[in-house]
Homo-oligomer: A and B are copies of this chain.
Amino acid sequence: MTETQQPPPRRAVTVNDIARASGVSRATVSLVLRGSPLVHAETRNRVELELKRQGYVYNRGAANLRRRTSSSVALVINDLSNPFFAEFAMGVDEALVGEGYVTLLGSTGESPARQETLLASLMEHSPAGVILSPAEHSDGERLQRLLGPHTAVLVFNRELPGAGYDFLALDNRRGAWLATEHLLARGHRRIAFFGGHADSSSCQQRRQGYADAMIAAGIPPDPRWLIESAPTRVEASQRTVELFAHARAPTAAVCYNDNVALGLKLGLIARGVRPGLDFALTGFDDIPEAAQTTPPLTTIAVEPRARGRQAAELLLQRVRDRDAPTRQVVAPVQLVVRGSSGAPPS
């Protein structure tokens, strides 16, 4: 309950003012506002004129209080400066405004502590629901307590262990599988999985898809081909050296995501290895930049904006039917072949 000090109260136009000025009761004005067919056409005109004249603006907060409804949805994500989440947020907002809701934004910066403060604060605004892309190492139990048993919740992207919420995920396994298959088809045999934190569920799933494809091709992945890295360009670039630190150096890499891939690309160039020629790499996400770099990045498209719309729709379905069975939706992904995977193994 952080307090926000505030201005000298400024009276706004209310239904009462309109009612008085147009000689009807407050109830009638309310009916007009909601377009009820009960009011006489002439009365409606009179009231509507007065509404316009006084510049009335609807107080949705008051209405929501009385009606025990809500017209907002909380959107909690890690980091808007990640284009993947920015696009996702755009999609969410797009779909929500279309349904008459407004988006309450919050970002956690991957900190579970801030995530909890933030959610507590957002809950005080009684949103109709919450779209949550949990920070790493979130405590599912605590979140569940914070959100209460009656809030509609959609979890996105990262699994929230031990919470019976709807869940929208990308098909991480299949995505990594597709990328690996693609590199195998190009003749690569020594393929690394590069980047990501091994303890995050999305990284695990992608590694799984990679491993599946490798094993199906009869190539048990060498543990030295699994390299961790924070999903940032800088760190990915720095870890490049680890790829070549031993005799069975890979000729290609499936990267955790596009950021990592772009970092690796820089690292390769710095070593004099030409990406797309001497070494093949793939990303994940298909951020706008992927198509623009040289060589353009082969990657897995996930259409974050469409995912955002989908998340909003799923959440609203849950809002409308609280008792429907919990849903786990896996969104399909797509391989986009570009120049970065053009290398034949050397």
* A301 located at the interface, meaning its Cβ lies under 8 Å from any Cβ of chain B in the complex: no
Bound CA–CA A321/B106 (angstroms):
26
Bound CA–CA A237/B86 (angstroms):
24
CB-CB under 8 A for A65 and B68, given A121-B97, A148-B57: no
Contacts of A99 in B (CB 8 A): 2, 4
Bound CA–CA A57/B149 (angstroms):
12
How far in angstroms is the closest Cβ of chain B from A126? Answer: 6
Scan A70-94; emit 1 where CB is below 8 A from any B CB, else 0: 1110010001110100110110011
Contacts of A59 in B (CB 8 A): 65, 124, 126
* A322 located at the interface, meaning its Cβ lies under 8 Å from any Cβ of chain B in the complex: yes
| CB atoms of A67 and B4 under 8 A apart | no
Identify A69's interface contact among B4, B55, B72, B101, CB under 8 A: B4
Q: How many copies does the complex hold?
A: 2
How far in angstroms is the closest Cβ of chain B from A152? Answer: 8
How far in angstroms is the closest Cβ of chain B from A271? Answer: 14
| CB atoms of B68 and A9 under 8 A apart | yes
Bound CA–CA A286/B55 (angstroms):
43
Identify A61's interface contact among B8, B9, B61, B145, CB under 8 A: B61
Contacts of A79 in B (CB 8 A): 90
* A150 located at the interface, meaning its Cβ lies under 8 Å from any Cβ of chain B in the complex: yes
* A328 located at the interface, meaning its Cβ lies under 8 Å from any Cβ of chain B in the complex: no
What band does the interface of chain A fall in when counting residues whose beta carbon is under 8 Å from B? 35 or more
Q: Which of A80, A103, A148, A320 has the most CB of B within 10 A?
A: A80
| CB atoms of B106 and A97 under 8 A apart | yes
| CB atoms of B81 and A93 under 8 A apart | no
How far in angstroms is the closest Cβ of chain B from A305? Answer: 8
| CB atoms of B67 and A6 under 8 A apart | yes
| CB atoms of A60 and B124 under 8 A apart | yes
Q: Which of A172-180, A246-254, A287-295 contacts B (4 or more CB under 8 A)?
A: A287-295
Bound CA–CA A61/B33 (angstroms):
21
CB-CB under 8 A for A126 and B61, given A103-B105, A118-B97, A121-B102: yes
| CB atoms of A233 and B292 under 8 A apart | yes
Closest 8 CB pairs of A and B: A2-B100, A6-B69, A105-B105, A60-B124, A4-B100, A86-B86, A103-B105, A9-B68
| Further 19 A-B residue pairs, CB within 8 A, beyond A5-B320, A10-B150 | A2-B99, A3-B34, A4-B100, A10-B322, A12-B150, A57-B124, A58-B124, A59-B126, A60-B124, A60-B126, A80-B86, A80-B89, A81-B87, A81-B288, A93-B106, A97-B121, A103-B106, A104-B105, A233-B292
